Amino acid sequence: MNINDIYKLVSYLVDKYQGTYLSPDDFNMAINMAQRQYLNFLTEETLETTGRGTGQPFVTRGSLSGFLKESTLTISSQLATYPSDFYKISAMRTTNDDFSIRKVGADKVYAYVNNPIDAPTITEPIYTEIGSNLKFFPSTLASAKIVYFKKPVDAAWVPVTGTLNYDNAASTQLEWPENDLNDIIYRTIGIVGINLKDGDLVRASLTVKNDGQ
């Protein structure tokens, strides 16, 4: 199902249940909000089952595997910036993958750093989030490997200039596997104020397909 199929389905439902027209801009806004909600739901669900701040990677399900990336962070004066497409941390490790880097809250950094017995070391480093930066301890740590979930690209249904016809080349498709699209569609129609049961969505999909809308 491509972005055109989804737009036709959602537009059909908006017309059927609200009697209104769904503009491409409104659709694009709703579906991107929906996919971000869905990504947050999946990653939060995984966090709850694997624990937070352990330095170990999430056990990823198929839905999330396409969004998982890793990158090497250069640390300068103990600070590093997030990757440009960063959404949520899965794990933080030293660049040779020998040691995990544990996350601690900013309010607990002082206690860790000034612990005379168990202060951060190169083999047991820590990091904390400070605004748009990550801060690492000890100060001698020069780089780190971040394993993270990237932001999904913004999907877009774009019409041919001057018409209401679909422009495939100018449009941007969702990156999700096919079996996740219904979840995103449910969230999209919920954002525009429509609540359906499973069977209703299936029947609507068949209607749109059979009518060639």
Q: What is the pLDDT of residues 64-108, one digit of tens each?
A: 889 999 999 999 999 999 999 999 999 999 999 889 999 999 999
Mean pLDDT by 10 residues, the chain (213 residues): 95 92 96 96 70 46 86 97 94 93 93 91 95 94 96 97 94 95 94 80 77 64
DSSP, collapsed to helix, strand or coil, labels residue 130 as strand
Q: Residue 200 phi/psi, 5° resolution?
A: -65, -40
DSSP, collapsed to helix, strand or coil, labels residue 206 as helix
Query: Is residue 194 within 8 Å of 17, Cβ to Cβ?
Result: yes
Sign of the Cα pseudo-torsion (107, 136, 128, 125, in order): negative
Alpha carbons 86 and 137: distance in angstroms, whole number: 21
State residue 210's pLDDT score. Answer: 73
Domain boundaries defined on the chain: 3-45+158-211, 68-150
Provide DSSP, 8-46: HHHHHHHHHHH-----HHHHHHHHHHHHHHHHHHHHHHH
Paired tokens of 212? 């060639």
**Angle at CA 88, nearest 5°, toward 172 and 100?**
135
Between the CA of residue 73 and those of 27, 124, 195, what are the distances in Å? Answer: 36, 17, 43
Overall pTM > 0.85:
no
Query: Is residue 151 within 8 Å of 85, Cβ to Cβ?
Result: yes
Q: If 0-12 CB within 10 Å is exposed, 13-18 middle and 19+ buried, where does residue 59 land? A: exposed
